[in-house]
Structure 1
Amino acid sequence: MSHKQQAISGGKWMSMSTAISTLFQFGQVAVLARLLEPSVFGIVSVSTLLIAFFSIFANLGFSNSIIYKQEEDRLVLSTIYLLNMALGLVIGVVVYFCWPLVVGYYKEPRLEQVIKLSSLYFIVVYVGQIYLFLLQKELQFKSVASIDITGTIVGSSVTILLAYTGYAELSLIYGQLAQQGAKSILQIIYGAKFFSPTLKFDLNLIKEHLQFGLYNVGDGIVGFIQANSDNILVGGMLGVKQLGYYTLASQLAVFPISRLSPIVLQVAYPILARFKGDTNELKKSYLTILDLLSYVNLPLLAGLFITADSVVPLFYGPGWEPTILLIRIFVFVSIFTFLSNPLFTLAFSKGKPKLLFFLNIITLIIKIPLVYLFAQQWGVVGIALAFLLATLANLLINFRIVKLLIGSFLSEFSQNIIKPIVFCLLMTGAIMLYKSYAPTINAVNTIAEISLGALIYVGLTFRYKYSLAELKTLSKAA
């Protein structure tokens, strides 16, 4: 199977996984928004931040180094596996005992039990994680997709059931643990044919992996602070209720893009790593990735921007109106973010993860003062605006780094992106016209708005970008 066919096949399976998982996630949020108050989402958001931060240390960037080096040595992999397990256990203990600091900062007693339960995540996740890395290295995306779908179904089912029975914020934590537990079991089952660990532990064997991972950890820490400083300050300065509004807005506008973009990147990186020395091939692949992400993401974000005032009352229910403006700001955050994401494939394919580290350092220096100052002036909306400006700065610097890696590309990029932008403008114009004649917010009009926008965008894409015959050819190649 050629690299193109592998990419198409991988993209097909990861697209299916993401579509199903995203639908379940949105269905879960729609149900929970009617069962739980905004402060509950803020509390769980704190737990999610804590898990994301400590995961940086336990991973040590081994996923990227295993793929980059195409590692197959059983003793090396066993050492990495045992080290990950030990780090996961240590970090779980640290998280468990850090609850007084978290409760003190957010001034929210309900966080104690949430943090203690969250500590179990690190014991569960690292049991099967190395098998996931190996499945990705071997381009076993059908297995990766099956694991992700099963985990999402299990997690969403447990969460909703417990929320109905009165577990409040704990329902989301138990749901996360159930989801990751199911995924870890399946990762071992699917990945066992590629690796069976031994009790061999020798750090000398993984020196190169540790060196490769050093910038990953540094980049992870800085990247976490850069990406989540707004969430941290919202909760600390404005309380968990405002953090709940902020979290729900982010989930609707940013979460789909954070799920869709990695489909392409997750499939592309293991393949590009195999011809990392060919700059021309990397440039073509980078532009192809940007083109695909633009055609997929822009219509979703443009549609969300224009229909936010209709979608929020129907999707979240009454009481969530403060999220509408936040969602519209986050739409532009998502646009700048998905355009920035493909640098990941270039940096790691070129063996230069330190570039991502420096990029995040610069963005952090820009973002934190903006977040603090804007919060003082405009509260939670100000923090969202600060996030927007910092993300724009990140994109501009990102494109400069890309130019250093693969040469000039903006002319080709501009020619590619103009079509989806025009299609989106026509789509949003039609929806605005429809809304002017049908201003009432109800399910029928909202579905009509979404359907109208989809028909226009898809029709224009088939007419001026991809024909049905080309799509059938790609489908057969998969």
Structure 2
Amino acid sequence: MSLSDRSIKSSMWILAMGLFQRGAGIISMIILARLLSPIDFGIVALATILVFLFDTLSHLGNKQYIISIENVTDDDLNTAWSLNIVFKSVVWIIFLFAIPFIADYMAKPEIAAPLYLLSLLLPIQAMGNPGLWLYLRELNYRPFVKVTIVSKTISFAVVITLAFTLKNYWAMIIGTLLGYLIPVIYSYFIHPFRPSISFKNTTLQRKYSQWIILKGLAGYSRSQFDSILITKFFDLKIIGVYTMFKNISAIPGQQIILPLIEPLLSVFSKSKNDNVNLSYQFNLSLFVVLTLIMPVATLMYTFHFEIIQLVLGTQWTEYSSLLAAMVFLLISISISGILTQILIALGKVKFIFYYDVLSFLVAAVILIFLQGQSIETFTWVRSLIAISTSAFLLLFVILQLKTSFIHSLLLILIPITSSLIAIYLTNIIAALLKTTGILELIISSTLFGILYIVVFFTILNIHNKPQEIIQLKILLKKYSTSLTSKIKVSK
């Protein structure tokens, strides 16, 4: 099986895993949004932002190191596991001492108790079996599907049960904790490797990790600075609303795009010495990601009110326009994921760190001056900053690869143009049908999907010379044939 085929097959497994995980998450979110208040979500949002900030400080990049090196030994795995435990435990202890001061600084004493419990995520994550990373090197994601199904099923059942009985934010706090604990336990049942304490290869991993820590901190600060700022600018209700909408806007990226991006580090690393093949892999990845994300983003932008009403209920629709603005965050995150992976493969970790720091500082300066403005203004400015910095990073990668800017731009414009034409035609037809509310969303979404596919493949047939388009057609035909065969066999 070719590297490209293995990458696509891996992506399909990750996509299946993501669909199940997000499916359970969406159902849980729909139920919780009707059982709990935006203030409950605000408390959980603030607690998770702070916990994951400290988690980022403790992230050594062990998984990325194991995936990127040519040959992996038991000493490599044991050292990675040992360093993870030590470093995360130290950060955890520091965090425990800092919690009272954090709660006082935020002037929100109610977050202290959730922080103490949720902080257990730090030592828990460190305990996972590093043998699973060997599956990632082989682009074998099937075991992770099993882990996801088991952990999500159990945590889903617990969260919903607690939400009905407790009717407060503790249901989500406990559910989040279980969502990390169960995979750690299960990891020892799906891989035979048994780690032991060892620090033999500490020097090699330390050199790799020092920039990963800084990059992770800068990247997290850049991506979450808006959420951190709103904790000071707005009350818990607005914090809950903003975070909820941000999570909804991230669903397509997390469950459609990230599964496609996850295997790319391994693919890019194997092609980094072949600039022609690396450029091809980059353009194909970017093309596929935008082909999937643009129609989703277009629907979210056009039907933000109907989506919020359907998913969360009427108590959330007052701020539905925030979802439209966050579409640009979704596109930015989707593009940045590919760009980051290829830069890591090229050994440009230091550049990513500088980019994250610079873009963070730009966003911070601009957003700080928005204090006193509405949450709508804050959200639009945040989204436009994100898409602008991603465009800059895209241009830098194209220059690094020495690939044709025009060629990449033409591939990017295909899904964008297809989405715009499809939504224009959809709006015309929907206006004639005169439907409203949820019915309009269902009919328009179905119609838009059909029109997008028709317009997209029409453009492909006209502009069919690029190798990326030819490869996409081959892959679609191959997996369409495979799916048809499986359906026939099942019957």
TM-score (norm 1): 0.93
Equivalent residues in 2 for 1:158-177 (5 A)?
A: 158-177=158-177
Aligned to 1:394: 389
Q: Secondary structure at the match of 1:110?
A: helix
Aligned to 2:487: none
Residue 440 of structure 1, CA deviation: 5.7
Question: Are 2:244 and 1:248 equivalent residues in the alignment?
Answer: yes
Aligned to 1:406: 401
Return the alpha-carbon distance in structure 2 between the equivalents of residues 137 and 284 of structure 1: 21
User: Which segments of 5 or more consecutive residues in structure 1 lack a partner in the other structure?
Assistant: none
Question: Are 2:323 and 1:327 equivalent residues in the alignment?
Answer: yes
Which deviates more from structure 2 when the two are superposed, residues 408-417 or residues 465-474? Answer: 465-474
Aligned to 2:306: 310
Counterpart AA for 1:305: Y
Question: Are 2:264 and 1:281 equivalent residues in the alignment?
Answer: no
- 1:457/1:167 CA distance change after superposition, 3 Å: same
Q: Secondary structure at the match of 2:371?
A: helix
Residue 89 of structure 1, CA deviation: 2.3
Which deviates more from structure 2 when the two are superposed, residues 10-19 or residues 462-471? Answer: 462-471
Question: 8 Å contact 1:359–1:397 — kept in the other structure?
Answer: no
Aligned to 2:368: 372
- 1:117/1:407 CA distance change after superposition, 3 Å: same
Aligned to 1:417: 412
Return the alpha-carbon distance in structure 1 between the equivalents of residues 8 and 395 of structure 2: 29
Return the alpha-carbon distance in structure 2 between the equivalents of residues 240 and 129 of structure 1: 37
Residue 396 of structure 1, CA deviation: 2.8
1:126-161 per-position Cα deviation (integer Å, ceiling 9, x unaligned) = 111523333212222111233233323322222121
Aligned to 2:343: 347
Aligned to 2:476: 471
Which deviates more from structure 2 when the two are superposed, residues 43-52 or residues 109-118? Answer: 43-52
Return the alpha-carbon distance in structure 2 between the equivalents of residues 109 and 435 of structure 1: 49
1:384 to 379, 391, 394: 379
Aligned to 1:77: 77
Q: Secondary structure at the match of 2:303?
A: helix
- 1:132/1:29 CA distance change after superposition, 3 Å: same
Question: 8 Å contact 1:67–1:273 — kept in the other structure?
Answer: no
The count of aligned residue pairs is 473
- 1:351/1:264 CA distance change after superposition, 3 Å: same
1:300-326 per-position Cα deviation (integer Å, ceiling 9, x unaligned) = 010111111111112111221233111
Question: 8 Å contact 2:32–2:160 — kept in the other structure?
Answer: yes
1:445 to 440, 446, 449: 440
Counterpart AA for 2:476: L
Aligned to 1:196: 194
Equivalent residues in 2 for 1:261-300 (5 A)?
A: 261-300=257-296
Return the alpha-carbon distance in structure 1 between the equivalents of residues 189 and 161 of structure 2: 27
Residue 393 of structure 1, CA deviation: 2.9
Q: Secondary structure at the match of 1:199?
A: coil
Counterpart AA for 1:277: N
Aligned to 2:489: none
Question: 8 Å contact 1:40–1:244 — kept in the other structure?
Answer: yes
Counterpart AA for 2:83: L
Residue 435 of structure 1, CA deviation: 4.4
- 1:441/1:92 CA distance change after superposition, 3 Å: farther
Question: 8 Å contact 1:42–1:243 — kept in the other structure?
Answer: yes
Question: 8 Å contact 1:124–1:184 — kept in the other structure?
Answer: yes
Counterpart AA for 2:376: V
Residue 356 of structure 1, CA deviation: 0.9
Q: Secondary structure at the match of 1:128?
A: coil
Percent identical pairs in the alignment equals 20
Question: 8 Å contact 1:3–1:271 — kept in the other structure?
Answer: yes
Counterpart AA for 2:275: T
- 1:409/1:24 CA distance change after superposition, 3 Å: farther
Return the alpha-carbon distance in structure 2 between the equivalents of residues 477 and 59 of structure 1: 40
- 1:363/1:322 CA distance change after superposition, 3 Å: farther
Return the alpha-carbon distance in structure 2 between the equivalents of residues 307 and 474 of structure 1: 31
Counterpart AA for 2:186: L
Aligned to 2:34: 34
Question: 8 Å contact 1:250–1:330 — kept in the other structure?
Answer: yes
Counterpart AA for 2:174: Y
Residue 94 of structure 1, CA deviation: 2.6
Residue 464 of structure 1, CA deviation: 4.5
Residue 185 of structure 1, CA deviation: 1.9
Question: 8 Å contact 2:24–2:152 — kept in the other structure?
Answer: yes
Return the alpha-carbon distance in structure 2 between the equivalents of residues 255 and 95 of structure 1: 29
Return the alpha-carbon distance in structure 2 between the equivalents of residues 149 and 457 of structure 1: 32
Return the alpha-carbon distance in structure 2 between the equivalents of residues 48 and 409 of structure 1: 42
Residue 30 of structure 1, CA deviation: 1.0
1:226-263 per-position Cα deviation (integer Å, ceiling 9, x unaligned) = 11111011011212211111111111212321332221
Residue 346 of structure 1, CA deviation: 1.3
Which deviates more from structure 2 when the two are superposed, residues 314-323 or residues 26-35? Answer: 314-323
Aligned to 1:13: 13
Which deviates more from structure 2 when the two are superposed, residues 464-473 or residues 50-59? Answer: 464-473
1:234 to 230, 236, 242: 230
User: Which segments of 5 or more consecutive residues in structure 2 lack a partner in the other structure?
Assistant: 461-468, 484-491
Question: 8 Å contact 2:77–2:131 — kept in the other structure?
Answer: no
Equivalent residues in 2 for 1:179-190 (5 A)?
A: 179-190=179-190
Counterpart AA for 2:261: L
Return the alpha-carbon distance in structure 1 between the equivalents of residues 185 and 331 of structure 2: 35
- 1:116/1:438 CA distance change after superposition, 3 Å: farther
Question: 8 Å contact 2:130–2:195 — kept in the other structure?
Answer: no
Return the alpha-carbon distance in structure 2 between the equivalents of residues 218 and 396 of structure 1: 22
1:379-423 per-position Cα deviation (integer Å, ceiling 9, x unaligned) = 322321231232133113202320342013321122112221222
Return the alpha-carbon distance in structure 2 between the equivalents of residues 437 and 172 of structure 1: 43
Residue 444 of structure 1, CA deviation: 2.5
Which deviates more from structure 2 when the two are superposed, residues 220-229 or residues 129-138? Answer: 129-138
Equivalent residues in 2 for 1:39-54 (5 A)?
A: 39-54=39-54
Counterpart AA for 2:194: S
Return the alpha-carbon distance in structure 2 between the equivalents of residues 163 and 246 of structure 1: 21
Counterpart AA for 1:246: Y
1:58-83 per-position Cα deviation (integer Å, ceiling 9, x unaligned) = 32111111111144221232122112
1:267-294 per-position Cα deviation (integer Å, ceiling 9, x unaligned) = 1211222232112111111100100001
Question: 8 Å contact 2:42–2:240 — kept in the other structure?
Answer: yes
Question: 8 Å contact 1:5–1:477 — kept in the other structure?
Answer: no
Question: 8 Å contact 1:102–1:111 — kept in the other structure?
Answer: no
Return the alpha-carbon distance in structure 1 between the equivalents of residues 172 and 230 of structure 2: 21
